[in-house]
Amino acid sequence: MTTLSKDDLADLKRAKQLLENPGLVAKLSSVLGSPVEKSVKMLPQSWQKNVHKATEGALMKALDVAVTSLGERPRLKSQDNWHRMAAAASGAVGGAFGLAALAWELPLSTTVMLRSIADIASSEGENPRHIDTKLACLMVFALGSNKDKRDNAAESGYFATRAALASAVSEASKYLAQKGLAKTGAPALIRLVAAIGGRFGVVVGEKAAAQAIPIIGAAGGAVINTIFIGHYQDMARGHFIVRRLEMIHGADPVRAAYEKI
Protein backbone atom coordinates (compact mmCIF):
# COMPACT_ATOMS: atom_id res chain seq x y z
CA MET A 1 0.00 0.00 0.00
CA THR A 2 1.27 3.47 -0.91
CA THR A 3 2.23 5.64 2.05
CA LEU A 4 1.27 9.30 1.85
CA SER A 5 3.97 11.85 2.63
CA LYS A 6 3.69 14.20 5.58
CA ASP A 7 2.69 17.08 3.27
CA ASP A 8 0.09 14.96 1.48
CA LEU A 9 -1.40 13.83 4.79
CA ALA A 10 -1.60 17.48 5.86
CA ASP A 11 -3.45 18.29 2.62
CA LEU A 12 -5.80 15.35 3.16
CA LYS A 13 -6.51 16.47 6.71
CA ARG A 14 -7.41 19.93 5.40
CA ALA A 15 -9.66 18.35 2.78
CA LYS A 16 -11.52 16.29 5.38
CA GLN A 17 -11.98 19.34 7.62
CA LEU A 18 -13.56 21.19 4.69
CA LEU A 19 -15.71 18.31 3.47
CA GLU A 20 -17.01 17.18 6.86
CA ASN A 21 -17.54 20.68 8.29
CA PRO A 22 -20.95 21.92 9.50
CA GLY A 23 -23.57 22.41 6.80
CA LEU A 24 -24.95 25.65 5.42
CA VAL A 25 -27.63 26.05 8.12
CA ALA A 26 -24.99 26.12 10.86
CA LYS A 27 -22.89 28.60 8.90
CA LEU A 28 -25.86 30.86 8.21
CA SER A 29 -27.12 30.71 11.79
CA SER A 30 -23.70 31.62 13.19
CA VAL A 31 -23.60 34.75 11.03
CA LEU A 32 -27.25 35.81 10.94
CA GLY A 33 -28.05 34.90 14.53
CA SER A 34 -31.41 33.65 13.28
CA PRO A 35 -33.04 30.23 13.64
CA VAL A 36 -32.60 29.29 9.98
CA GLU A 37 -33.50 25.66 10.64
CA LYS A 38 -36.93 26.73 11.90
CA SER A 39 -37.37 28.86 8.79
CA VAL A 40 -36.64 25.82 6.61
CA LYS A 41 -39.48 23.91 8.27
CA MET A 42 -41.82 26.90 7.90
CA LEU A 43 -41.43 27.15 4.12
CA PRO A 44 -44.84 26.42 2.54
CA GLN A 45 -45.13 23.29 0.40
CA SER A 46 -45.66 25.39 -2.72
CA TRP A 47 -42.29 27.08 -2.17
CA GLN A 48 -40.65 23.71 -1.66
CA LYS A 49 -41.84 22.81 -5.16
CA ASN A 50 -40.51 26.13 -6.47
CA VAL A 51 -37.14 25.41 -4.87
CA HIS A 52 -37.05 21.97 -6.50
CA LYS A 53 -37.96 23.40 -9.91
CA ALA A 54 -35.42 26.23 -9.60
CA THR A 55 -32.73 23.76 -8.53
CA GLU A 56 -33.24 21.52 -11.57
CA GLY A 57 -33.25 24.52 -13.89
CA ALA A 58 -30.06 25.87 -12.34
CA LEU A 59 -28.28 22.52 -12.65
CA MET A 60 -29.33 22.11 -16.29
CA LYS A 61 -27.89 25.56 -16.96
CA ALA A 62 -24.73 24.60 -15.07
CA LEU A 63 -24.46 21.39 -17.12
CA ASP A 64 -24.70 23.45 -20.31
CA VAL A 65 -22.00 25.88 -19.11
CA ALA A 66 -19.78 23.03 -17.91
CA VAL A 67 -19.86 21.19 -21.22
CA THR A 68 -19.69 24.15 -23.59
CA SER A 69 -17.42 26.73 -21.99
CA LEU A 70 -15.54 25.58 -18.88
CA GLY A 71 -11.79 25.45 -19.26
CA GLU A 72 -11.41 28.21 -21.81
CA ARG A 73 -9.07 30.10 -19.50
CA PRO A 74 -7.48 27.74 -16.99
CA ARG A 75 -5.76 29.42 -14.03
CA LEU A 76 -3.02 28.28 -11.72
CA LYS A 77 -4.60 30.19 -8.82
CA SER A 78 -8.33 30.27 -8.16
CA GLN A 79 -10.08 33.65 -8.03
CA ASP A 80 -12.21 32.86 -4.96
CA ASN A 81 -12.76 36.45 -3.81
CA TRP A 82 -13.85 37.70 -7.23
CA HIS A 83 -16.46 34.95 -7.49
CA ARG A 84 -17.70 35.70 -3.96
CA MET A 85 -18.24 39.35 -4.91
CA ALA A 86 -20.18 38.31 -8.02
CA ALA A 87 -22.34 35.95 -5.96
CA ALA A 88 -22.91 38.66 -3.35
CA ALA A 89 -24.17 41.04 -6.05
CA SER A 90 -26.78 38.55 -7.29
CA GLY A 91 -27.68 37.74 -3.70
CA ALA A 92 -28.31 41.41 -2.93
CA VAL A 93 -30.99 41.56 -5.61
CA GLY A 94 -32.37 38.19 -4.53
CA GLY A 95 -32.53 39.36 -0.92
CA ALA A 96 -34.44 42.47 -1.93
CA PHE A 97 -37.13 40.46 -3.72
CA GLY A 98 -37.10 37.37 -1.49
CA LEU A 99 -38.22 33.96 -2.70
CA ALA A 100 -39.84 35.47 -5.79
CA ALA A 101 -36.36 36.06 -7.23
CA LEU A 102 -35.19 32.47 -6.77
CA ALA A 103 -36.09 31.31 -10.29
CA TRP A 104 -33.70 33.75 -11.98
CA GLU A 105 -31.19 34.38 -9.18
CA LEU A 106 -30.32 30.73 -8.54
CA PRO A 107 -29.19 29.89 -12.12
CA LEU A 108 -27.02 33.03 -12.04
CA SER A 109 -25.40 32.28 -8.68
CA THR A 110 -25.01 28.59 -9.60
CA THR A 111 -23.16 29.54 -12.79
CA VAL A 112 -20.86 31.86 -10.83
CA MET A 113 -20.22 29.06 -8.34
CA LEU A 114 -19.49 26.60 -11.15
CA ARG A 115 -16.90 28.99 -12.58
CA SER A 116 -15.32 29.25 -9.15
CA ILE A 117 -15.36 25.47 -8.72
CA ALA A 118 -13.63 25.05 -12.09
CA ASP A 119 -11.00 27.60 -11.03
CA ILE A 120 -10.34 25.58 -7.89
CA ALA A 121 -10.13 22.36 -9.92
CA SER A 122 -7.59 23.99 -12.22
CA SER A 123 -5.54 25.24 -9.26
CA GLU A 124 -5.38 21.65 -7.96
CA GLY A 125 -3.89 20.44 -11.25
CA GLU A 126 -6.99 19.35 -13.18
CA ASN A 127 -7.91 20.34 -16.73
CA PRO A 128 -11.45 21.79 -16.84
CA ARG A 129 -11.54 21.03 -20.57
CA HIS A 130 -11.82 17.30 -19.81
CA ILE A 131 -15.28 15.77 -19.45
CA ASP A 132 -14.21 13.92 -16.29
CA THR A 133 -13.20 17.19 -14.61
CA LYS A 134 -16.32 18.99 -15.79
CA LEU A 135 -18.54 16.34 -14.24
CA ALA A 136 -16.40 16.37 -11.09
CA CYS A 137 -17.12 20.11 -10.91
CA LEU A 138 -20.86 19.47 -11.16
CA MET A 139 -20.59 16.79 -8.48
CA VAL A 140 -19.50 19.45 -5.99
CA PHE A 141 -23.12 20.67 -5.86
CA ALA A 142 -24.06 17.32 -4.30
CA LEU A 143 -21.54 17.71 -1.47
CA GLY A 144 -22.12 19.34 1.90
CA SER A 145 -25.87 18.81 2.21
CA ASN A 146 -27.78 17.33 5.14
CA LYS A 147 -29.44 14.76 2.88
CA ASP A 148 -27.06 12.16 4.28
CA LYS A 149 -29.09 12.22 7.50
CA ARG A 150 -31.93 10.58 5.58
CA ASP A 151 -29.62 8.00 4.03
CA ASN A 152 -28.28 4.82 5.57
CA ALA A 153 -25.92 5.90 8.36
CA ALA A 154 -23.31 3.45 7.07
CA GLU A 155 -23.34 5.26 3.74
CA SER A 156 -23.01 8.85 4.92
CA GLY A 157 -20.16 11.21 4.21
CA TYR A 158 -18.05 12.39 1.31
CA PHE A 159 -17.08 9.03 -0.18
CA ALA A 160 -20.64 7.72 0.12
CA THR A 161 -21.92 10.70 -1.88
CA ARG A 162 -19.36 9.97 -4.57
CA ALA A 163 -20.39 6.31 -4.60
CA ALA A 164 -24.07 7.22 -4.84
CA LEU A 165 -23.39 9.43 -7.87
CA ALA A 166 -20.85 7.13 -9.56
CA SER A 167 -23.31 5.36 -11.87
CA ALA A 168 -25.07 8.56 -12.99
CA VAL A 169 -21.74 10.32 -13.58
CA SER A 170 -20.38 7.38 -15.58
CA GLU A 171 -23.48 7.23 -17.80
CA ALA A 172 -23.40 10.99 -18.37
CA SER A 173 -19.68 10.91 -19.16
CA LYS A 174 -20.16 8.22 -21.84
CA TYR A 175 -23.13 10.07 -23.33
CA LEU A 176 -21.36 13.44 -23.45
CA ALA A 177 -18.20 11.91 -24.93
CA GLN A 178 -20.24 10.38 -27.76
CA LYS A 179 -22.93 12.99 -28.44
CA GLY A 180 -22.09 16.16 -26.53
CA LEU A 181 -24.93 18.32 -25.20
CA ALA A 182 -27.11 18.04 -28.31
CA LYS A 183 -30.07 16.76 -26.27
CA THR A 184 -30.28 18.00 -22.68
CA GLY A 185 -33.37 15.81 -22.27
CA ALA A 186 -31.34 12.64 -22.68
CA PRO A 187 -32.06 10.10 -19.91
CA ALA A 188 -28.37 9.94 -18.86
CA LEU A 189 -28.27 13.70 -18.27
CA ILE A 190 -31.66 13.80 -16.56
CA ARG A 191 -30.52 11.08 -14.15
CA LEU A 192 -27.34 13.01 -13.38
CA VAL A 193 -29.21 16.26 -12.70
CA ALA A 194 -31.75 14.39 -10.53
CA ALA A 195 -29.01 12.65 -8.55
CA ILE A 196 -27.16 15.90 -7.88
CA GLY A 197 -30.33 17.96 -7.51
CA GLY A 198 -31.66 15.79 -4.69
CA ARG A 199 -28.73 16.93 -2.54
CA PHE A 200 -28.20 20.43 -3.93
CA GLY A 201 -31.90 21.16 -3.44
CA VAL A 202 -31.58 20.57 0.31
CA VAL A 203 -28.98 23.34 0.57
CA VAL A 204 -30.88 25.63 -1.81
CA GLY A 205 -33.95 25.21 0.41
CA GLU A 206 -31.88 26.29 3.40
CA LYS A 207 -30.63 29.34 1.51
CA ALA A 208 -34.17 30.20 0.38
CA ALA A 209 -35.44 29.91 3.95
CA ALA A 210 -32.74 32.28 5.18
CA GLN A 211 -33.63 34.79 2.45
CA ALA A 212 -37.30 34.53 3.45
CA ILE A 213 -36.59 35.91 6.93
CA PRO A 214 -38.38 39.31 6.87
CA ILE A 215 -35.45 41.41 8.11
CA ILE A 216 -32.93 40.10 5.58
CA GLY A 217 -33.32 42.51 2.67
CA ALA A 218 -30.65 43.26 0.05
CA ALA A 219 -27.69 43.46 2.43
CA GLY A 220 -28.64 40.19 4.07
CA GLY A 221 -29.10 38.57 0.66
CA ALA A 222 -25.56 39.52 -0.26
CA VAL A 223 -24.25 38.01 2.98
CA ILE A 224 -26.25 34.80 2.44
CA ASN A 225 -24.93 34.35 -1.09
CA THR A 226 -21.37 35.00 0.07
CA ILE A 227 -21.74 32.21 2.64
CA PHE A 228 -23.52 30.05 0.03
CA ILE A 229 -20.68 30.27 -2.50
CA GLY A 230 -18.07 30.00 0.26
CA HIS A 231 -19.68 26.73 1.33
CA TYR A 232 -19.28 25.25 -2.15
CA GLN A 233 -15.79 26.68 -2.57
CA ASP A 234 -14.88 24.74 0.58
CA MET A 235 -16.49 21.59 -0.83
CA ALA A 236 -14.66 22.08 -4.14
CA ARG A 237 -11.28 22.63 -2.49
CA GLY A 238 -11.66 19.49 -0.38
CA HIS A 239 -12.97 17.44 -3.31
CA PHE A 240 -10.17 18.36 -5.69
CA ILE A 241 -7.47 17.93 -3.07
CA VAL A 242 -8.71 14.36 -2.61
CA ARG A 243 -8.79 13.80 -6.38
CA ARG A 244 -5.26 15.19 -6.76
CA LEU A 245 -3.97 12.82 -4.10
CA GLU A 246 -5.86 9.91 -5.67
CA MET A 247 -4.12 10.58 -8.98
CA ILE A 248 -0.76 10.35 -7.20
CA HIS A 249 -1.34 7.49 -4.74
CA GLY A 250 -4.45 5.68 -5.96
CA ALA A 251 -8.02 5.78 -4.64
CA ASP A 252 -7.81 3.05 -1.99
CA PRO A 253 -4.75 4.37 -0.06
CA VAL A 254 -6.20 7.88 -0.02
CA ARG A 255 -9.57 6.70 1.27
CA ALA A 256 -7.93 4.56 3.93
CA ALA A 257 -5.84 7.52 5.10
CA TYR A 258 -8.91 9.80 5.01
CA GLU A 259 -10.87 7.46 7.26
CA LYS A 260 -8.02 7.25 9.75
CA ILE A 261 -7.83 11.05 10.19
- Calpha distance 66→83 (Å, rounded): 16
Span of 76-80, 136-140, 161-165, 201-205 with lowest mean pLDDT: 76-80
What are the start-end ranges of the H helices in the chain?
6-19, 24-32, 36-42, 45-69, 80-97, 102-123, 131-139, 158-179, 187-212, 217-249, 251-260
- pLDDT tens for each residue of 213-222: 655 554 566 7
What pLDDT sits at residue 159? Answer: 94
- pLDDT tens for each residue of 153-193: 434 489 999 999 999 999 999 998 888 766 666 888 889 99
Interhelix angle 102-123/45-69, rounded to 10 degrees, is 40
- pLDDT tens for each residue of 84-111: 555 445 544 544 445 556 666 788 888 8
Q: For residue 161, which of 70, 80, 242, 48 has the smallest C-alpha distance? A: 242
| More confident position, 227 or 213 | 227
Q: Residue 159 burial (CB < 10 Å; 0-12/13-18/19+)?
A: middle
194 pLDDT exceeds 70?
yes
Q: For residue 224, which of 213, 214, 210 has the smallest C-alpha distance? A: 210
